[in-house]
Amino acid sequence: MPTPEIRCPACRWKPGPDARWSCVPRCGTVWNTFATGGLCPGCGARWHRTQCLACGVVSPHRDWYLDPDDADGADTTRERDLATQG
Ligand SMILES: [Zn+2]
Ligand SMILES: [Zn+2]
């Protein structure tokens, strides 16, 4: 399984393995939040939003993971599953 591509939803900056986030104002632990899926190793807090170190925009953590299926084109087929019922 290839690792999902991670990039900032706002500016497309890609955090490397050396990127670090701080658990503030909670426990102050500094770690790579994408190594733990947004979970602070210090206090166990889950961070649902992640701030970009490049542009400063705060985005939902899951939005940083680029889904290969959604990589190109607009998302126009989402309602199709509902239409096939019954
Ligand atoms: Zn913490
Ligand atoms: Zn950014």
Q: Which ligand is nearest to the CA of 27?
A: 1
0.75 cut: is pTM over it?
A: no
Residue 85 lies in a domain: no
Domain tally for the chain? 1
Query: Which pLDDT tens digit goes with each residue over 42-86?
Result: 999 999 999 999 999 999 999 999 977 655 544 444 545 555 555
Distance from C-alpha of 17 to C-alpha of 61, rounded to nearest angstrom: 16
Provide CB contacts within 8 A for 29, sequence distance 6+: 22, 23, 40, 41, 42, 43
Residue 79 lies in a domain: no
Planar angle of CA 8, 10, 12, nearest 5 degrees:
45
Show the tokens assigned to 16.
């490397």
Q: Which ligand is nearest to the CA of 33?
A: 1
Residue 80 lies in a domain: no
Distance from the alpha carbon of residue 78 to the mean position of ligand 2, in angstroms: 27
Distance from the alpha carbon of residue 34 to the mean position of ligand 1, in angstroms: 14
Look at residue 82 in the predicted model and tell me its pLDDT.
Answer: 55
Look at residue 75 in the predicted model and tell me its pLDDT.
Answer: 47
Query: Which pLDDT tens digit goes with each residue over 8-37?
Result: 999 999 999 999 999 999 999 999 999 999
Ligand 1 being an ion, which residues bring their Cβ within 5 A of it? Answer: 23, 26-27, 29, 40, 42-43, 45
Class of residue 33 by CB neighbours under 10 A (exposed 0-12, middle 13-18, buried 19+) = buried
